[in-house]
Structure 1
Amino acid sequence: PLKWLSKFFIVMAMAAVGLNTNIVKLVTTSSKPLGLGLGCWPGITVVSLLLQHLLNLW
């Protein structure tokens, strides 16, 4: 039950953050940080998948 409860609380917290985000203001005021985040996303994904493969987790 604790594993399910922890996932539920993480989903609720992420939903609360998402619902309080003004997308238009975010894009207009922070295009550089948003671009950096979008640029880092593929690199983090590749490194994560590579480590999972090397550690025989995936």
Structure 2
Amino acid sequence: MADLIVKAAVRDAIDGNVSGDFYDALDEEVHELLNEAARRAEENTRKTVQARDL
């Protein structure tokens, strides 16, 4: 699986320390969110994922 998040951006957003395993967990959450959004778009006969699919 490709990395979907940018570690430096996460550190900047949190403005603090981040453990190494946090990035993997966050990446997995984002991956699941994207898969669910794509599934919802497909169920609505769309090829384009939109904000409402989140």
TM-score normalised by length of structure 1: 0.42
TM-score normalised by length of structure 2: 0.44
Higher helix content, 1 or 2: 1
